[in-house]
Homo-oligomer: A and B are copies of this chain.
């Protein structure tokens, strides 16, 4: 069996050893070192290049089965990765192939290929696109807007966490679909980025102004679609301004993931009745059979520069536990990634 190029036959990993209370602490994880195991028949060894850090990972640390089985204490922390095949006992994968899958918070993944896909690089588009604009991020944005939102030209789409990984893509897809797109974000820099660089029609800095008032100003024809990434008060404000027949795609509730109690719903639930609102929770994994449809749209959008993204890359696996909190502080600028090794040439 080959070992990862330029590395010893050793794998470092972050293992979850205690259930975080509120924010994640480094001491909730254990830094472990072990020999890379021998591959079994059908298995591959992947040298991880990029590890994705996502809000959902906070949820995966909880002692409950969610849409993913509960992660037992002592396990390598779960996470999406892009890497290079360093050894293969599977005829479908060759050494040097670029692959994407749940490699986890570790330098080398050794195991079977369930859930892994081989990537075809998009000319002129960096490898990070597969974690920032395709994969779970891009497909979540795509199906939330297109399948649940059912946008019609001229409608108004509001996106929360609009400068976040999913939100920034969701808003741009809304523009492509012909909507007026209003993003809600937490800094002037983020607001400027989504309006100037991504083409959102307007941005609301929820830390600077009252969201209710701002929605009234920026959504003169009401709100037809709300792409919900945060939970809490913003949903209440949106429901007040919602049009009859509005759709709410519940993609994430980031304001709630560190909460120690249950997440409350909007304060004005009666609007759901009065305005015949459809509130639909969804998980991108339910759309796996339709991923090719989303990829067929997103790849040309990326290649043509219609869909932009930015990444916030932290160097070295050791930084993962502390870097994750940036998502909840809102201090990341773009899709949060950890770089573990060099990109292949």
Which residues on A are within 8 Å of B, measured CB to CB? 66-67, 231, 236, 244, 250-253, 256, 262-283, 286
Contacts and interface: CB of A to CB of B under 8 A. Distances in A.
B262 A272 contact: no
Contacts of A282: 273, 276
B267 A264 contact: yes
Interface centre among A251, A267, A280 (most CB of B within 10 A): A280
Contacts of A266: 264-265, 269
Contact of A253 (B236, B264, B265, B273): B273
Contacts of A272: 250, 265, 279, 281
B263 A268 contact: yes
A277 B268 CA distance: 19
Contact of A264 (B252, B265, B277, B279): B265
Given A262-B267, A265-B269, A273-B283, 7 more contacts: A236-B262, A251-B273, A256-B270, A265-B265, A276-B286, A278-B281, A279-B280
A231 B279 CA distance: 15
Please tell me how many copies of the chain the complex holds.
Answer: 2
Nearest to A282: B276
A282 B278 CA distance: 9
Interface centre among A236, A251, A266, A272 (most CB of B within 10 A): A272
B276 A278 contact: no
Contacts of A281: 271-278
Consensus secondary structure, chain A interface? loop
Contacts of A270: 231, 253, 256, 262-263
Contacts of A265: 264-267, 269, 272
User: Nearest 9 pairs between A and B by C-beta?
Assistant: A265-B265, A265-B269, A279-B279, A273-B281, A272-B281, A262-B268, A263-B270, A265-B266, A276-B281
Nearest to A257: B270
A95 to B, nearest CB: 39
A267 B264 CA distance: 4
Given A264-B269, A265-B267, A280 B278 contact: yes
Contacts of A275: 281
Contacts of A263: 267-270
Contacts of A271: 281
A16 B268 CA distance: 26
Contacts of A256: 269-270
A273 to B, nearest CB: 4
A204 B67 CA distance: 29
A265 B252 CA distance: 17
Contacts of A279: 272, 277-280
A262 B271 CA distance: 9
A256 to B, nearest CB: 6
A223 to B, nearest CB: 15
13 contacts: A67-B244, A236-B262, A253-B270, A256-B269, A262-B267, A262-B270, A264-B264, A264-B266, A264-B267, A265-B272, A271-B281, A273-B281, A279-B279
A251 B274 CA distance: 9
Interface centre among A274, A281, A283 (most CB of B within 10 A): A281
Contacts of A264: 264-267, 269
